[in-house]
């Protein structure tokens, strides 16, 4: 069996260890999800315009709250080394982030493309190239961040699996040594 080396270069991401990178990614995502929820909850309560805008804001804030709770549980699972849940986090993170991305882009475009007349009534939607380009840049950045965090989680899962196998071998060796030690004295 190959010796498990937690300091091997394959467990390094950029300038830090895979567990540190996972903590950083999880903490940043928790911060982002919390800020998004804090911003969207008042908007869902005080949304101007149609009922669909209120539903859109409420859905986005609900997803952000679920995302926040998921990130807290992820950070706890990294600490407790729950290997079996890493695939679930990868899957759920992909789904939640895609939904959140869709909702944020929808909100962004809806706010940028809405026009009102002097009486405060909604006139029409018009295409703004700047808004569309900004939404596409945001989508590209969010997609890159999601791919990176999924990569970190997959590498962390592999690290935890190898660490678990190594610890099982160490425990077996320790139990064999304990069994043989009374006979030697």
Residue 10 lies in a domain: no
Residue 45 lies in a domain: yes
Instruction: Name residues whose C-beta falls within 8 Å of residue 85's C-beta, 6 or more positions apart in sequence.
Output: 77
pLDDT, tens digit (0-9, with 9 covering 90-100), for 160-176: 999 999 999 999 999 99
Residue 11 lies in a domain: no
Question: CA-to-CA distance for 47 and 66, rounded, in angstroms?
Answer: 21
Residue 6 lies in a domain: no
* Number of domains composing the chain: 1
Contact 39, 103 (CB under 8 A): no
Q: DSSP state, 119?
A: T
Residue 4 lies in a domain: no
pLDDT value for 171: 93
pLDDT value for 148: 87
Radius of gyration of the chain (CA): 24
The number of residues making up the chain comes to 185
Residue 161 CA to chain centroid, in angstroms?
21
Residue 53 lies in a domain: yes
**Structural domain containing residue 136:** 16-178
pLDDT, tens digit (0-9, with 9 covering 90-100), for 55-80: 777 787 887 888 888 889 989 999 99
* Of the candidates 176, 166, 177, the residue with the CA atom closest to the CA atom of residue 6: 166
Residue 161 lies in a domain: yes
pLDDT value for 56: 74
117/34: higher pLDDT = 34
| Residue written as token pair 């690290």 | 159
pTM above 0.85, yes or no: no
């Amino acid at each position: 069996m190959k010796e498990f080396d937690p300091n091997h270069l394959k467990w390094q991401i950029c300038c830090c260890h895979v567990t540190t990178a996972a903590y950083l990614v999880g903490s940043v995502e928790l911060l982002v999800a919390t800020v998004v929820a804090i911003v969207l909850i008042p908007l869902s309560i005080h949304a101007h315009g149609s009922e669909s805008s209120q539903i859109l804001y409420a859905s986005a804030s609900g997803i952000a709250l679920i995302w926040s709770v998921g990130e807290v549980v992820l950070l706890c699972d990294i600490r407790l080394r729950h290997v079996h849940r890493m695939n679930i986090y990868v899957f759920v993170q992909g789904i939640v982030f895609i939904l959140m991305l869709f909702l944020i882009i929808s909100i962004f475009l809806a706010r940028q493309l809405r026009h009102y007349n002097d009486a405060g009534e909604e006139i029409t939607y018009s295409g703004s190239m700047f808004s569309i380009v900004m939404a596409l840049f945001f989508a590209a950045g969010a997609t890159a961040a999601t791919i990176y965090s999924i990569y970190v989680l997959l590498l962390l899962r592999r690290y935890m699996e190898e660490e678990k196998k190594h610890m099982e071998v160490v425990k077996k060796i320790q139990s064999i040594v304990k069994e043989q030690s009374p006979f030697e004295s």
